[in-house]
Amino acid sequence: MSRLRIFDEQRPEQALSTLHDHAAIERALAQFGVRFERWEALHPLAPGASPEEVIAAYRKDIDRLMAAEGYRAVDVISLHPEHPDRAALRKKFLDEHTHAEDEVRFFVAGSGLFTLHLEARVVEILCEQGDLIGVPDGTRHWFDMGPAPHFVAIRLFGNPEGWVARFTGDGIAARFPRYEPGQAAAA
């Protein structure tokens, strides 16, 4: 189940509020200019589907966002618990950073935890299968895929070069909860 938790940036031990209703999460994130949607495949995907099959299954929504927002590239990333570089990949995304373009991810399978640093608030969004998140350019954030990542995600880019981060040097991300699947459902 998708989840949003809001924290005071000085109090990582206690969420100020928690939401599980997708429509309520969408409304709360819209206040910060963050896109949050639910997508459904045009046709079922078999386990191990190729990136081309994944993109084809969600082509209608991909095309809608590309036309509306000017994204120029799309790809699929797939990580599993046995991936040989999982620890290095996890570490790469754990520090607070920004991008010069929106960071848009749709979770075809699995889950991950996006955390946004918005003024004096930290907003944590557990994204699961069917969730799309669009983090606006310049937004301070980090991403945690957990110690044993399991997800397939469609990524949309304005820059054909793909993911380019500018790290802030702020250690805030280390003070907030990490993603530990199985514990994520706790409020």
Higher model confidence: residue 155 or residue 46?
A: 155
Q: Is residue 165 part of a domain?
A: yes
Q: Is the residue at 183 inside a domain?
A: no
Task: Say if residue 169 is exposed, middle or buried (CB neighbours under 10 Å; 0-12, 13-18, 19+).
Answer: exposed
181 falls within a domain: no
How many distinct structural domains can be found in the chain?
A: 1
The mean per-residue pLDDT over the stretch 151-175 comes to 90
Domain with 88, as residue range(s), is: 3-175
Q: Domain with 69 in it: what CATH number?
A: 2.60.120.10
Looking at residue 183, its pLDDT comes to 58
Identify the band that residue 116 occupies on the pLDDT scale cut at 50, 70 and 90.
Answer: very high
Question: pTM for the full model?
Answer: 0.92
Residue 162 scores a pLDDT above 90: no
What per-residue confidence (pLDDT) applies to 187? 45
User: Would you say residue 186 lies in a domain?
Assistant: no
> Looking at residue 46, what is its pLDDT?
85
Does residue 72 lie in a domain region?
Answer: yes
Residue 187 lies in a domain: no
Task: Calculate the average pLDDT of the chain.
Answer: 93
Q: Is residue 180 part of a domain?
A: no
pLDDT tens, position by position, 52-111: 999 999 999 999 999 999 999 999 999 999 999 999 999 999 999 999 999 999 999 999
